[in-house]
Structure 1
Amino acid sequence: MGVMLVLMLPLLLLGISGLLFIYQEVSRLWSKSAVQNKVVVITDALSELGKECARLFHTGGARLVLCGKNWEKLESLYDSLISVADPSKTFTPKLVLLDLSDISCVQDVAKEVLDCYGCVDILINNASVKVKGPAHKISLELDRKIMNANYLGPITLTKVLLPNMISRRTGQIVLVNSIQGKFGLPFRTAYAASKHAALGFFDCLRAEVEEYDVVVSTVSPVFIRSHHAHPERGNWSASIWKFFSRKLTQGEHPVEVAEEVMSTVRRRKQEVLMANPIPRAAVYIRALFPEFFFAVVACGVKDRLSVPGEG
């Protein structure tokens, strides 16, 4: 009996590996069919996440509209996509200069896209501007810039493209947001406020457009780290905040987030929270035990202010 078990174990492992491979291949083909021939607009396509989304959706056969603030970098992204994809199975991406913090140009860009393709099937609101510092040291002008880029810009673009989706009774809007749309952290007042506002808008919009078969999705990672980011090493004193903060700041790799965005589009999911157990639990602690949550966060601020050089 023991010998048979030993002989069957490799076969069992081989069978499981084969099933996993088949599942991955089916998922990959399913993802491609979900975006093939679809007009997909990606804002801030020059960010790490934007580039990864562009790569996935381009190889999937989407008609890409890549938005960014730098024309030379957009052309470089264009060349990298064209060089690795099969031209017989992909479409030439359209490049568009767009700075979402400049609200006056957003409507013109949206109309340009509609004039080019006649519709937009999928809008990926990816653009995001970050700032970190004490609230009283951040100017109102910077507050406005953050709010324009993270909130007013995306909703302006959405509002211009939305009537087309409603009239066609199809479409999907994906907001790449942040866990700070769920709760705020110290020294990120402007950023957290903009993410709260964006999440509130798109949560309301989801209910409004459901009857038109337009899907509104939010993908909220803890944060998106760069390809070469290393774990943060500080000299904070030992505390509960130290444990909490380090777990909270372990962000997602751009490739992982891009794959989740593709999965969200394919499965038409409404809300995705990309977080390990600690920040995921923090969302519920903030809702159920706010006083405890605020005490932990305040403790972290005191620890940081007590460290020389971290005023």
Structure 2
Amino acid sequence: MGILAVLIIPLLVIGISGIVYIYQTVVQVMSKSVVRNKVVVITDAISGLGKECSRVFHSVGARLVLCGKNWEKLETLYDALIGVADPSVTFTPKLVLLDISDLDSVHEVAQEIQDCYGCVDILINNASIKVKGEAQSVSLELDRKIMDANYFGPITLTKALLPNMISRRSGQVVLVNNIQGRLGIPFRAAYAASKHAALGFFDCLRAEVQEFNVCISTVSPTFIRAYHGQPEPGNWEASMWKFFFRKLAYGVHPVALAEEILRTVSRRKHEVFLANPTAKVAVYTRAFFPELFFAIVAAGMKEKHKVLLLEK
């Protein structure tokens, strides 16, 4: 009896591991089959995440329309995809020049996108720009530029492609957002405001188009980190600011995020939040205990200022 009891635990571990492996394999296969032959538009395809999304969706047989504002980089991405692709299971990507912050050209480019295959099944709004600085030091001109790129650009392109999805009663729009669409972090007021606005718009749109079988998905990582390395330490290395905000800065790798976007599309999930435990605690604290959250942020700012004064 004693030997049997000892063996039960490893057998259970092996059994559970096997079930998890089979489940993940089935999900992966289903993800590939759902996306195959679908027309997938990726904005800012030349960014780190854009390249990984292009690779992932191209490898599973999607018909890609890759958008970016630099034609040479788009061609480089095209060559990279074609160079490793199996032509029997993939489609040749189509390239479209698009600066999402140039609102006057978005409608014209949207028509060019639709002309590629006659329709769009999946739109991945990936393009955005960042700015860092004190709120009062960032010019209104730069505020508007951030809002154009991160809010007006994606919604303008979405509105241009949406009628075709509604008429076909099929389609999905994915917004790649950020944790700053949920909470504001000091020195990123313009960026956080644009991400809050975008999240609010797509949350409303989700309810409006659900009856037409159009799915709206938002994917919000903490940050999208570089391929190598960790965030640089700040001048506030020894403060509680380090614990709170440097933990928030440990973002998601572009490869992992691209694979999560594929799963989000295949399972038509409405919302995905990718974050480490510290970031999740911050979001929930902001939602349920706002005064505590504001107190922590204020304390962190005071400590940062003290460190800066000591260094002068």
Q: TM-score, normalised by structure 2?
A: 0.93
2-11 or 248-257, larger mean C-alpha shift: 2-11
Q: Does residue 229 of the first structure (1) align with residue 232 of the second (2)? A: no
Q: 1:17 & 1:63 partners in 2: Cα distance?
A: 35
In structure 2, the residue matched to 1:155 is 155
Deviation at 1:251, TM superposition (A): 0.7
Residue-by-residue CA offset, 1:72-131 (whole Å, 9 max, x unaligned) = 111111111111121000000001111111111111111011122111000000011000
SS at match of 2:272: strand
In structure 2, the residue matched to 1:274 is 274
Kindly indicate whether the alpha-carbon contact (under 8 Å) linking 2:221 and 2:273 is maintained by their aligned counterparts in 1. Answer: yes
Equivalent residue letter for 1:138:
V
Sequence identity, in percent? Answer: 70
In structure 1, the residue matched to 2:128 is 128
In structure 1, the residue matched to 2:243 is 243
Residue-by-residue CA offset, 1:185-242 (whole Å, 9 max, x unaligned) = 1100110010011011101101110110100010011110010131432342644433
In structure 2, the residue matched to 1:61 is 61
In structure 1, the residue matched to 2:118 is 118
Equivalent residue letter for 1:149:
A
Deviation at 1:168, TM superposition (A): 0.4
In structure 1, the residue matched to 2:38 is 38
Kindly indicate whether the alpha-carbon contact (under 8 Å) linking 1:69 and 1:98 is maintained by their aligned counterparts in 2. Answer: yes
Deviation at 1:292, TM superposition (A): 1.5
1:230–1:213 distance in 2 versus 1, CA, 3 Å:
same
Q: 1:214 & 1:140 partners in 2: Cα distance?
A: 35
Equivalent residue letter for 2:205:
L
In structure 2, the residue matched to 1:216 is 216
Structure 1, unpaired ranges of 5+: none
Deviation at 1:308, TM superposition (A): 3.5
Equivalent residue letter for 1:92:
T
Equivalent residue letter for 2:42:
I
Residue-by-residue CA offset, 1:161-183 (whole Å, 9 max, x unaligned) = 00000000010000000111111
Q: 1:7 & 1:245 partners in 2: Cα distance?
A: 45
In structure 2, the residue matched to 1:201 is 201
Deviation at 1:303, TM superposition (A): 2.2
Kindly indicate whether the alpha-carbon contact (under 8 Å) linking 1:125 and 1:174 is maintained by their aligned counterparts in 2. Answer: yes
In structure 1, the residue matched to 2:29 is 29
In structure 2, the residue matched to 1:104 is 104
Residue-by-residue CA offset, 1:246-288 (whole Å, 9 max, x unaligned) = 2211111111111111111111111111112221122221122
Kindly indicate whether the alpha-carbon contact (under 8 Å) linking 1:173 and 1:215 is maintained by their aligned counterparts in 2. Answer: yes
285-294 or 30-39, larger mean C-alpha shift: 285-294
SS at match of 1:49: helix
The 5 Å alignment of 1:294-309 reads 294-308=294-308
Q: 1:69 & 1:302 partners in 2: Cα distance?
A: 41
Kindly indicate whether the alpha-carbon contact (under 8 Å) linking 2:31 and 2:267 is maintained by their aligned counterparts in 1. Answer: no
SS at match of 2:86: coil
In structure 2, the residue matched to 1:170 is 170
Equivalent residue letter for 1:290:
P
Kindly indicate whether the alpha-carbon contact (under 8 Å) linking 1:222 and 1:251 is maintained by their aligned counterparts in 2. Answer: yes
In structure 2, the residue matched to 1:290 is 290
SS at match of 1:307: helix
Kindly indicate whether the alpha-carbon contact (under 8 Å) linking 1:114 and 1:120 is maintained by their aligned counterparts in 2. Answer: yes
Deviation at 1:70, TM superposition (A): 1.0
SS at match of 2:46: coil
In structure 2, the residue matched to 1:183 is 183
In structure 1, the residue matched to 2:51 is 51
259-268 or 237-246, larger mean C-alpha shift: 237-246
Equivalent residue letter for 2:105:
C
Kindly indicate whether the alpha-carbon contact (under 8 Å) linking 1:237 and 1:303 is maintained by their aligned counterparts in 2. Answer: no
230-239 or 144-153, larger mean C-alpha shift: 230-239
CA RMSD of aligned residues (A): 2.0
Equivalent residue letter for 1:40:
V
